[in-house]
């Protein structure tokens, strides 16, 4: 049976609800704290980007716009589907992921959160369905590169 999405309001002060759901899911599948922290960090970046860029009015009192989160435990990982109904935006395009390989003073402003998501997530995919940005990825129980 497929996991059902949970719906959260896109307001920064409500992120602890989403974090609690993610932590609970990780605890149920026996993730170590470091793996749980990786998932929470990626979700925090996506959530903050949704609030600040996808639903900019949500930063104020109009934060009742939804974020959908589906977490599906699998062998050695948690499969994640993160969705919002902001304007279409693929964060994994070349234009959205700046090059941070040079000296720090050469880095452009913005995009570091996307780079973090790319580094910590696995099998990242973006698509737009039914008026929603849909980001799919997995967080491994073992540290990347382990």
pLDDT tens sequence across 62-75: 467 999 999 998 88
d(Cα 53, Cα 57) in Å, to the nearest integer? 9
- Residue 109 token pair: 């402003």
Cβ of 59: how many Cβ atoms within 10 Å?
13
Q: What's the rounded Cα separation, in Å, for the pair 14 and 33? A: 22
Q: Given this model, what pLDDT does residue 44 score?
A: 94
Task: Record the pTM.
Answer: 0.84
What pLDDT, on the 0 to 100 scale, is given for residue 9?
A: 93
pLDDT at 64 (0 to 100): 76
Show the low-confidence residues of the chain (pLDDT under 70): 1-2, 57-63, 94-100, 102, 104-112, 143-146
């Amino acid at each position: 049976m497929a996991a059902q999405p949970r719906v959260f309001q896109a307001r920064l002060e409500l992120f602890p609800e989403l974090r609690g759901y993610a932590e609970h899911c990780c605890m149920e599948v026996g993730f170590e704290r470091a793996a749980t922290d990786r998932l929470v960090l990626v979700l925090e970046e996506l959530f903050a980007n949704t609030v600040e860029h996808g639903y900019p009015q949500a930063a104020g009192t109009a934060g009742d716009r939804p974020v959908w989160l589906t977490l599906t435990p699998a062998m050695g990982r948690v499969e994640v589907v993160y969705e919002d109904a902001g304007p279409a935006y693929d964060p994994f395009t070349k234009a959205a992921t700046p090059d941070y390989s040079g000296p720090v003073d050469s880095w452009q402003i913005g995009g570091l959160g996307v780079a973090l998501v790319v580094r910590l997530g696995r099998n990242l995919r973006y698509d737009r369905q039914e008026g929603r940005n849909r980001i799919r990825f997995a967080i491994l129980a073992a540290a990347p590169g382990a």
